[in-house]
């Protein structure tokens, strides 16, 4: 049998997983032993039964294949019995979640920096998902981090790279490595969940769409499902070839980075639906002809219409949204008589609620929507649920949105991002807000009066764990609000996120300009936080 080799090492600083795994520049990961230290720390602390199976795959970005080969050798040296790896090293994040669940793996390593750019000078990331298919909860990521600070050796075996491009099984040491089709299991699952016949019928009668895979991981999935199984015309999927540098673009499906799609959808040649997904396939962007749907609204609209999808009929138990996500979903939950949970930012906080059957559908303002079918948010799933609803109801995205707002009212919403700002300035801004909290209620900020303000803390209703300091909420009289948070996914400086929301009831103006409807909240945010003074920026870099 191949000899296990123990390689002495010393800890690297800063291997603390953020909102979604360890994300650093590729150059950082390329330091000798850097990825190995982190992977060994994962293997040292995570729960594993006898003869465990590990799932392995990534979004195909630069350095993916290198780390996959390292991880295979290390898994063999660490007692795994089997590794399931996506062909070409590819597995979208939701597809990986599905494979973990379907084949009862003890967990998986997902190699991705999500929507961050890729390439030798850009970002890489490693995330561990547990046996339920979801991101490791905080207790696990804390244990991994603690281990990285004390690690003194990692284990590997000396075997050549395996052929990642050929389906089938090979032995690495005594461990079996199966190179699996990354798409098939996922496509089958989607076909079980949705009314493909109804979608095929509207496609046959002329319904058109464009799906922008942003040269990232969803290309093969979207081509197989949309063009292959649902009959959309060839060319419906654009930028469908996963590239190591995403073609030099930012694979983030928002109005800035998917501007071509947005322009098409606002123009005279718009198809019925425009959609996009991110680097690792868990985010989604939905645009109807002439109508952008915010992620917060998308969650509410999908929840309100979920009965259209066969697998969800009669089984909506609850809805969950992250705190900065608008309260549009809360109104739907109330109307449907189901609970709505408000969690901190990060998909991992939905895991317990989903496992306990307390919620069926979840969503975040950061372009994430998903359900209990896996334990990750799922970009293509959201697109397919939209298609299913539009097909069954026979209406356009714009009609559906207008009808929804007329019934529930509209939560005008935007997020302003100040990217890569000075960390000290950002920390000072947040500290300044915390210092003001005790006295903010009753303060007048321009046209608005503060009703309440707090630092959001969450107690998980399933395991009782508490997560504090999850963002500053400033709630105004009349129901509008501003939320401040520092991003947990950036790799340079700090990113300040300012979330703005203004609710208008069904009797109000439901088709106004979003920035006009949020002008008072934008001014109040500046007044209370001193954004320009702390960051040196007078305008956000990205508005989503």
Interface residue with ligand G6P, options 11, 231, 488, 493 (CB under 6 A): 488
Q: Measured from the CB of residue 283, what is the shortest distance to ligand G6P in angstroms?
A: 7
Q: Is 271 in the site for ligand G6P (CB under 6 A)?
A: no
221 binds, among ligand G6P, Zn ion, none (CB under 5 to 8 A by kind): none
Residue with Cβ nearer ligand G6P (40 or 218): 218
- Exposure string (b/e) for 326-338, b if CB count within 10 Å is 16 or more? bbbbbbbbeeeeb
Q: Which long-range contacts (CB under 8 A, 24 or more apart) does 474-478 make?
A: 474/440, 474/450, 474/524, 474/525, 474/528, 475/450, 475/451, 476/445, 476/448, 476/449, 476/450, 476/451, 476/521, 476/524, 477/448, 477/449, 477/450, 477/451, 478/448
Provide the total of helices (H) and of strands (E) in the chain, helices listed first: 18, 27
d(CA 409, CA 505): 4
Q: Is 20 in the site for ligand G6P (CB under 6 A)?
A: yes
Q: Is 298 in the site for ligand G6P (CB under 6 A)?
A: no
Q: Measured from the CB of residue 246, what is the shortest distance to Zn ion in angstroms?
A: 12
d(CA 41, CA 21): 13
Residue with Cβ nearer ligand G6P (64 or 345): 345
In Å, how far are 40, 146, 269 from 149, measured between CA atoms? 12, 5, 56
Bridge partners of residue 128, in order along the sequence: 109
278 binds, among ligand G6P, Zn ion, none (CB under 5 to 8 A by kind): Zn ion
59 binds, among ligand G6P, Zn ion, none (CB under 5 to 8 A by kind): none
Bridge partners of residue 109, in order along the sequence: 56, 128
Interface residue with ligand G6P, options 497, 521, 534, 544 (CB under 6 A): 497
In Å, how far are 10, 137, 146, 157, 372 from 356, measured between CA atoms? 40, 15, 28, 40, 10
535 binds, among ligand G6P, Zn ion, none (CB under 5 to 8 A by kind): none
Residue with Cβ nearer Zn ion (283 or 497): 283
Residue count at the site for ligand G6P (CB under 6 A)?
13
Residue with Cβ nearer ligand G6P (385 or 486): 486
Interface residue with ligand G6P, options 272, 364, 378, 501 (CB under 6 A): 364
d(CA 187, CA 190): 5
Residue with Cβ nearer Zn ion (114 or 480): 114
307 burial (CB, 10 Å; 0-12 / 13-18 / 19+) is middle
Q: Is 346 in the site for ligand G6P (CB under 6 A)?
A: yes
Q: Is 305 in the site for ligand G6P (CB under 6 A)?
A: no
d(CA 19, CA 346): 6
Q: Measured from the CB of residue 267, what is the shortest distance to ligand G6P in angstroms?
A: 29
Q: Is 129 in the site for ligand G6P (CB under 6 A)?
A: no
d(CA 498, CA 433): 13
Residue with Cβ nearer ligand G6P (87 or 343): 343
Torsion of CA 308, 232, 363, 495, to 10 degrees: -170
Is residue 296 part of the annotated active site? The answer reads: no
Q: Measured from the CB of residue 344, what is the shortest distance to Zn ion in angstroms?
A: 17
Q: Measured from the CB of residue 125, what is the shortest distance to Zn ion in angstroms?
A: 10
Helix (H) or strand (E) holding 64: helix 64-77
d(CA 105, CA 446): 55
Q: Measured from the CB of residue 432, what is the shortest distance to ligand G6P in angstroms?
A: 20
Q: Is 366 in the site for ligand G6P (CB under 6 A)?
A: yes
Residue with Cβ nearer ligand G6P (52 or 346): 346
497 binds, among Zn ion, ligand G6P, none (CB under 5 to 8 A by kind): ligand G6P
Q: Is 17 in the site for ligand G6P (CB under 6 A)?
A: no
CB–CB of 59/217 below 8 Å? yes
User: Which residue in the list 20, 92, 97, 114 is annotated as catalytic?
Assistant: 114
Q: Measured from the CB of residue 437, what is the shortest distance to ligand G6P in angstroms?
A: 21
d(CA 326, CA 518): 13
347 binds, among Zn ion, ligand G6P, none (CB under 5 to 8 A by kind): ligand G6P
Choices 47-55, 167-175, 473-481, 484-492 (CB under 6 A): range interacting with ligand G6P: 484-492
Residue ranges binding Zn ion (CB under 5 A): 114, 278, 280, 282-283
Interface residue with ligand G6P, options 87, 114, 236, 360 (CB under 6 A): 114
Query: Structure tokens of 520?
Result: 């008072």
345 binds, among Zn ion, ligand G6P, none (CB under 5 to 8 A by kind): ligand G6P
d(CA 159, CA 57): 19
Rg (CA), the chain: 23
- Pairing relationship of beta strands 291-293 and 284-288 according to DSSP bridges: antiparallel
Q: Among the residues of 215-254, which ranges form H helices?
A: 218-222
Q: Is 487 in the site for ligand G6P (CB under 6 A)?
A: yes
In Å, how far are 39, 47, 111, 211, 460 from 140, measured between CA atoms? 13, 9, 18, 36, 15
Interface residue with ligand G6P, options 52, 86, 318, 368 (CB under 6 A): 368
Q: Is 493 in the site for ligand G6P (CB under 6 A)?
A: no
Residue with Cβ nearer ligand G6P (298 or 366): 366
Q: Which residues are catalytic?
A: 114
**Residues that bind ligand G6P in the complex, under the rule CB under 6 A:** 19-20, 114, 345-347, 364, 366, 368, 487-489, 497
């Amino acid at each position: 049998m191949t000899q296990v080799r123990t390689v002495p090492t010393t800890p690297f600083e800063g291997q603390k997983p953020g909102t979604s795994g360890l994300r650093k520049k590729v150059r950082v990961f390329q330091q000798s032993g850097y990825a190995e230290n982190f992977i060994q720390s994962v293997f040292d602390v995570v729960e594993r039964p006898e003869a465990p199976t590990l799932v392995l795959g990534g979004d195909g970005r630069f350095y993916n294949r290198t780390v996959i080969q390292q991880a295979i050798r290390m898994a063999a040296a660490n007692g795994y019995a089997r590794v399931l790896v996506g062909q070409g090293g590819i597995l979208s994040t939701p597809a990986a979640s599905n494979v973990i669940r379907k084949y009862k793996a003890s967990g998986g390593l997902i190699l991705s920096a999500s929507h961050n750019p890729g390439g030798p000078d850009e970002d890489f990331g490693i995330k561990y998902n547990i046996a339920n298919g979801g991101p490791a909860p905080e207790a696990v990521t804390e244990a991994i981090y603690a281990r990285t600070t004390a690690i003194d050796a990692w284990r590997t075996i000396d075997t050549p790279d395996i052929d990642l491009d050929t389906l089938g099984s090979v032995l690495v040491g005594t461990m079996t490595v199966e190179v699996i089709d990354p798409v098939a299991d996922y496509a089958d699952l989607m076909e079980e969940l949705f009314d493909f016949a109804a979608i095929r019928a509207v496609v046959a009668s002329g319904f058109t769409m464009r799906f922008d895979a942003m040269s990232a991981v969803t290309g093969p999935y979207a081509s197989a499902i949309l063009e292959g199984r649902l009959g959309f015309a060839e060319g419906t999927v654009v930028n469908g070839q996963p590239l190591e540098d995403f073609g030099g673009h930012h694979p983030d499906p928002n109005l800035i980075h998917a501007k071509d799609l947005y322009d098409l959808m606002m123009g005279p040649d718009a198809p019925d639906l425009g959609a996009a997904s991110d680097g690792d396939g868990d985010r989604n962007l939905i645009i109807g002809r002439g109508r952008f749907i915010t992620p917060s609204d998308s969650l509410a609209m999908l929840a309100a219409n979920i009965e259209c999808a066969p697998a969800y009929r009669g089984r909506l138990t609850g809805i969950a949204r992250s705190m900065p996500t608008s309260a549009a979903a809360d109104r739907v939950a109330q109307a449907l008589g189901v609970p709505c949970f408000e969690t901190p930012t990060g998909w991992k906080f939905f895991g317990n609620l989903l496992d306990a059957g307390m919620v069926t559908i979840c969503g975040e303002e950061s372009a994430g929507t998903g359900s209990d079918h896996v334990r990750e948010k799922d970009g293509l799933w959201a697109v397919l649920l939209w298609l299913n609803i539009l097909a069954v109801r026979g209406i356009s995205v714009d009609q559906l949105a207008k009808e929804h707002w007329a019934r529930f009212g509209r939560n005008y919403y935007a997020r302003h991002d100040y990217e890569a700002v000075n960390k000290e300035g950002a920390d000072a801004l947040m500290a300044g807000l915390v210092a003001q909290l005790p006295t903010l209620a009753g303060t007048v900020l321009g046209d608005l009066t503060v009703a309440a303000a707090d630092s959001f803390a969450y107690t998980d209703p399933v395991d009782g764990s508490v997560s504090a300091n999850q963002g500053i909420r400033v709630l105004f009289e009349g129901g509008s609000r501003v939320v401040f948070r520092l991003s947990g996914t950036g790799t340079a400086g700090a990113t300040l996120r300012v979330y703005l929301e203004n609710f208008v009831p069904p009797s109000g103006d439901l088709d106004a300009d979003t920035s006009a409807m949020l002008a008072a909240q934008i001014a109040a945010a500046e007044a209370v936080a001193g954004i320009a003074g702390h960051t040196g920026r007078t305008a956000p870099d990205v508005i989503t």
